[in-house]
Structure 1
Amino acid sequence: MTRFDKFFGLKAITLSAALMTANLALAGDNNVSAGQILDALKPKPVTRGLSVGPPADTTAQAKESTFLNTVRNRSTRSLSTGEREQIAELAAAKPKIDLEIQFDYNSAEIAKTSVASVQALGKALSDPALKGSTFVVAGHTDTTGGEEYNQGLSERRADTIKKYLVQNYGLNAADLVTVGYGETKLKDAANGADPVNRRVQVVNMDTKTASK
């Protein structure tokens, strides 16, 4: 082997090591902190107009609470399409965060690289600032695979997150409503197979939270 070959080989090894380090750093960037999750999910203060009038629509809040009570302690698979859509409609105006929680291939098992994010979620939901809130844990998939299969996979993944939070952080199971949307609510609709669509969305459904 010539001196040039040895030099070139050393450079290749160094470059490979540098690329591996960069990839690990990027992978770690997907993990969010408990503080970031807490800030995203904290109830927003109720805003009132300048005109004198009644407070927030208590009738609408009562209906919302009644509906949430009908989906508490329900199995994820038992929710009808209409109920899933109603949850999505209510969640649209609520504090929420998308977490890029990865699962093992073709599985509902949390990938080792995403355990830190789930632990951060557990710490955030255990914070006194969120005490008494009801949370929706929604599973989403990309478009790889059939629609029916993806629907079931998203439900199993949402169930996995709920089970982890209840078992490891003592959260009340009744305060965690799980729902699966499969590939029906893509984050990047133009690129259905993009990994960004494989996510878990957590929503604070606290009825005292007001939309702007």
Structure 2
Amino acid sequence: MVSISAKTFGMMVSVATLGAAISFAGTAFAQEKNVTEDQIVRALAPEKKPLTRGLSTGPQTAVDPTVTAAETKFVERIRGRSTRSLSSAEREEIASMVKDKPKIDLEINFDYNSADISAKSLPSVQALGRALTNNEIKGSTFVVAGHTDAAGGDAYNQDLSERRADAIKRYLVDKYGINGTDLVTVGYGKSKLKNPSQPMAEVNRRVQVVNMENKSTASAK
């Protein structure tokens, strides 16, 4: 009888320990959804480019091979454009250009079937606002891209992603005084799922922010 009680007690302790571990893991996961200003700044800060030396023995100069003349011209053309005015070809060109740029995916929730930012996601949007006005990265052109999960049709999700990208831009302009022309908004609907194997997963409902590393086209501050 005593040995059985001991075994039962041991099982109870093991179950309690497992339950505590699951609870702790769940708490940690919830905390990771709200990012900080510092995390965003570090994610969007341009990578330090290596210095290159020409044939002459003159001083070294920093060369940024990612910013080409064609890219600069394209970014200048789309700055200040409305989200809906971008053609599918322009959206794809943006997607191609940002592949190797500093970026961060933010899990920003919106009210159901709307572009209203949910109260629980405001801390992340506010952290983004502070980050984009941080001296380390401000003055560049940033792409704000809206993405949805796979629920619903293509047209519906395209419209929703555009409205949500616009909502983020509007908040950043109104609350943090960021120049609207420094924020290029684009919507991709459900066409670029972050996790295609789980098309309905929350991770697909996101806003991606990309630093175009192109201060020459940004407005003066």
Unaligned runs of 5+ in 1: 1-17
RMSD of aligned Cα (Å): 2.5
What CA distance in whole angstroms lies between the structure 1 residues aligned with 2:142 and 2:101? 10
Q: Please state how far the C-alpha of 1:130 moved relative to its aligned partner.
A: 1.0
**Match in the other structure for 1:45:** 48
SS state of the match for residue 136, structure 2?
Answer: helix
Percent identity between the two aligned chains: 56
Amino acid at match of 2:188: Y
The answer to whether structure 1 residue 82 and structure 2 residue 128 are counterparts is no
What CA distance in whole angstroms lies between the structure 1 residues aligned with 2:76 and 2:164? 22
Contact 1:166–1:172 (CA under 8 A) maintained in structure 2: yes
**Match in the other structure for 2:113:** 106
The answer to whether structure 1 residue 181 and structure 2 residue 188 are counterparts is yes
Aligned with 2:165 (options 158, 163, 186): 158
**Match in the other structure for 2:32:** 29
Structure 1, residues 62-112: CA drift from partner, whole Å, max 9, x if none?
211110111111110110011001111110010000000011111100011
Q: Please state how far the C-alpha of 1:23 moved relative to its aligned partner.
A: 6.1
Distance 1:51 1:84, change over 3 A: same
TM-score normalised by structure 1 residue count: 0.82
Runs of 4+ in 1 over 2 A off after TM superposition: 18-29, 47-60
SS state of the match for residue 138, structure 1?
Answer: strand
TM-score normalised by structure 2 residue count: 0.79
The answer to whether structure 1 residue 190 and structure 2 residue 193 are counterparts is no
Contact 1:101–1:110 (CA under 8 A) maintained in structure 2: yes
Unaligned runs of 5+ in 2: 1-19, 216-221
**Match in the other structure for 1:68:** 75
Contact 2:107–2:205 (CA under 8 A) maintained in structure 1: yes
